[in-house]
Amino acid sequence: MRKVIIFAILLCAVTAFVFANDFTVRSVTGNVVREAGNQRVEIKAGETLANNVVIHTAAGASIVLRDARGRDITVSAERSGTIAELARPGISISGNVSRTNTDAVSRTTTQAGTASARASDAAGADDIAAE
């Protein structure tokens, strides 16, 4: 019985060590703060932050974090949340918007009939014929 308890304690300790994701702050640009109780504290390069720390990046600010596996994670401007949420890979949407030349398209000034207009015309004709 004693071996089982010792094994369970060791297993919990190893599991906590493996899943503890601490992040090291590599660089900070602009105003980046973390929540500490009811206060916001400025983050500096070289600090170690747990994955449940809530951070806020201001406009034009960014922070580069290094995880336990050696990956660098960049959190861009105007983001807030826990480090675990912000470090999760997300969907990146990018592309170029080009202007469309509408001069070549012919334009008409005639009115196009709508389904409701045609339906009301048809209903009026049927109502007169039915009476």
pLDDT at 41: 95
pLDDT at 53: 95
Q: Is 117 left (phi over 0), alpha (psi -120 to 50) or beta?
A: alpha
Q: Which residues pair with 22 in a beta bridge?
A: 50
DSSP-derived secondary structure letter, 52: T
All structural domains of the chain with their residue ranges: 21-87
- Sheet of 54-57, strand order: 39-42, 32-36, 54-57, 80-82
User: DSSP secondary structure string, 63-104?
Assistant: EEEE-TTS-EEEE-SS-EEEHHHHHS--------------TT
Place of tokens 């918007």: 97
CA angle, 67 then 63 then 19, to 5°: 20
CA distance linking residue 50 with residue 107, whole number of Å: 61
CA distance linking residue 36 with residue 33, whole number of Å: 9
Tokens of 46: 């070289």
Per-residue pLDDT of the chain (131 residues; tens, 9 = 90+): 777 777 667 655 544 444 457 999 999 999 999 999 899 999 999 999 999 999 999 999 999 999 888 989 999 999 999 999 988 876 555 566 666 666 655 555 556 666 665 655 555 555 555 55
